[in-house]
Structure 1
Amino acid sequence: MKKYSAISAASILLVLAIWAYLTYSNTIDKLFLPTPGDTLQALVDEIREGIFFEDLAVSFYRILMGFLISTIFAVPIGMMMATSRTWQAIWEPLIGLIRYMPAVAFIPLSILWFGTSDLQKFFILFLGVFFQEVIMIADNCKTVNKSLVEVGKTLGLSKGEVMKSIVFRAALPGMVDTFRTTWGWAWTYLVVAELVAASEGLGFRIMQAQRYLATERIVLGIVVIGLLGLITDLLFAGLYKKLFPWKALEKAKG
């Protein structure tokens, strides 16, 4: 494990070294790519201005709420799609149609429907996550051994009990992997959600910096979003190992 951790750290340091070389040697003009020092100074400036942690908290709140709303609906619908042909017939064409529509195209309508409130941001994040998440959860549930379901029915369990006690539990490791993936997608839709009609947040700060060609603040926002996504991704990975150690061991061996 130490060997692979060292390789991961070395890859990050290599990217930083290339970035530093290209910018400090003036190979790339600072207008197009700021130096690591300028980016760090932008972080210090935003902290002094009192906007950095405020933007961080607002964006994280929006991501969390958009993701939770999506997941609350995606889990039961995905499970029903995997176990009921009727539900599959109802939802599959709708999801297949809407999931190919770009979330950014709904921004004008979302402002008309929800105004400039956080609900509008939740809606865009929901669109970006929900439809893919439903399909992935349905696939997770389809991998459940059918013999387990048959045993449950033989024992007299109702359909709801089979779903709760057998399908959900058996598919849960795959679902956690799905949550990890879709949480990452939610971060990628953050800038889209905060593109217009926002007055705070990491995405808003990036768009504001663009107007003034403050590339150091643009890069800072991008790096911070990436770091937050990486941290939460590692937390999901740790949660997976904690909850399903046998599955984690299988993955390690594979």
Structure 2
Amino acid sequence: MSANGTDAAFQLRRSIPARRYRLLAIVGFGLCLIIWGIVSASNVVDPIFLPSPLTVAHTMAEIFSDQTIWSDLWISFERVTIGFLLSAIAALPIGILIGSFKPVEALMQPVTEFVRYVPVPALIPILMVTLGIGEESKWALIFIGTYFQLVLMVADEVRRVPYDLLQVAQTLGATQGEIIRKVLWRSAMPGIFDALRLCNGWAWTYLIVAELVAANEGLGFRILKFSRFLQTPKIWVYLLLLGAIGLLLDLMFRALNRRLFKWAESGK
């Protein structure tokens, strides 16, 4: 107990041991599983829509014994990776320019803010007409869904770099290009990396939306197919798989962030 009678672990923003953190995370998942089992057993929700954890576990074993799920997973992963990489390649330099120069901000940020409020799923018919129902329309949907968000997040991270650092660099004779490359970019990298982590999660959301509409394979397509025949346990298996993929990618981004930016408070 601390001096004011509060457990030290519950002090604001105080770190806790990694082992304790992992244990609490496991407890959190366990509580969700228990609540799920209680609700499904009480028949508050029709079992057709909320099957028991045991039913889903049996269904999961059957699905993972089939090669179809591995094919769906690979196709979806390939789609989201290509679309997200295209978004990142385009958004990083534009975001840095917006965060660095007020004229560029005035020219591009209002337009970016405007477009990012357009519902991305509403663009699906336009993308299908202009790009067809092939892979290009799916890449474009992921690109649009993440690019405008990522540009603004990168610009914000660049603006957070203390202006004193820029003044010191100018005093030492650095050019504007050198300041952008060696001061703004390097100082903002931990926050930018974290923005990439968040946008990668959104990319998976938009991928599933695209596959629900125009695809004949992939995780989203399979969910839609199962829903037509009320194969709810299979839907839950794919939803749990998507959650596991998202959590794994998030942990990988965080671990890489900590390794690359040990010097940064935000690199965690």
TM norm structure 1: 0.92
Q: Does residue 148 of the first structure (1) align with residue 141 of the second (2)?
A: no
The amino acid across from 2:204 in the alignment is: W
Deviation (angstroms), 1:37:
2.5
The amino acid across from 2:59 in the alignment is: A
Unpaired segments of 5 or more residues in structure 1? none
Match of 2:12 in 1: none
Pick from 187, 190, 208 the counterpart of residue 191 of structure 1: 208
Matches for 1:6-155 after TM superposition, within 5 Å: 6-155=23-172
Q: 2:150–2:199: 8 Å Cα contact kept in structure 1?
A: yes
Q: 1:43–1:52: 8 Å Cα contact kept in structure 2?
A: no
Aligned partners of 1:45 and 1:119: how far apart in 2? 33
Q: Does residue 228 of the first structure (1) align with residue 245 of the second (2)?
A: yes
TM norm structure 2: 0.88
Unpaired segments of 5 or more residues in structure 2? 1-17
Match of 1:175 in 2: 192
Aligned partners of 2:267 and 2:213: how far apart in 1? 42
Tell me the C-alpha RMSD between the 2 structures: 1.8
The amino acid across from 1:209 in the alignment is: F
Deviation (angstroms), 1:234:
0.5
The 3 A distance-change label for structure 1 pair 251 and 168 is: closer
Deviation (angstroms), 1:103:
0.4
Aligned partners of 1:5 and 1:44: how far apart in 2? 26
Q: 2:99–2:105: 8 Å Cα contact kept in structure 1?
A: yes
Q: 2:257–2:267: 8 Å Cα contact kept in structure 1?
A: no
Report percent identity of matched pairs. 37
Larger helix proportion of the pair: 1
Aligned partners of 1:200 and 1:44: how far apart in 2? 20
Aligned partners of 1:241 and 1:93: how far apart in 2? 33
Deviates more, 1:35-44 or 1:171-180: 35-44
Aligned partners of 1:41 and 1:228: how far apart in 2? 20
